[in-house]
Amino acid sequence: MSSHQHSQRRGSGAMEQYFSATQKMEQEVMFPSLLRGVFPQQEGAAPAPGGHTDLYERYQLLKAIKPVVEKGLASVNDPMATVTDADTALDEGTDGNLEERLSHHVNGLQQVLTDLTKNTKALTRRYSQILEQINLSEDQSSS
């Protein structure tokens, strides 16, 4: 019993971290166009295959994903949606490995949320660095 409660809490933790990271990104990245032509740097990692997406495109993607995540989670929490699914599942007698399938999906979702959170935080950090560089060069040119 306690392990179920634990995994549930961990899931909401990943969700909260994702939403707070996304919120921070949306608040801080006032000029997304500064991210054009800037590519993600991963320490000690080769560039991702087809890694031609700059941070501006990644920012647009992260912003576009957010409502999808919110909508998906809302439908999970919608009792009407789950009731009908549960009824058809029971009719078909496919409840044998439901728990297994659910934990598989929950773990997958947590992994995705964790990756999204990392990407979002990294993008926000990079944006701050770009702003600092701009401010530094402005300070130097004015002196």
Amino acid 21: pLDDT: 97
Residues whose CB falls within 8 Å of the CB of residue 42, separated by 6 or more in sequence, listed in order: 48
| Nearest-angstrom CA–CA distance, 66 and 18 | 9
**Which tokens is 129 given?**
């660095």
Which residues of the chain carry a pLDDT beneath 70? 1-12, 41-52, 79-96, 143
If one counts every other C-beta atom within 10 angstroms of the C-beta of residue 22, the result is 21
Tokens 């990692």 sit on residue: 45
Cα(first)–Cα(last) distance of the chain, in Å?
Answer: 66
Amino acid 78: pLDDT: 74
Global pTM reads 0.69
Amino acid 77: pLDDT: 74
At 12, which amino acid appears?
Answer: S
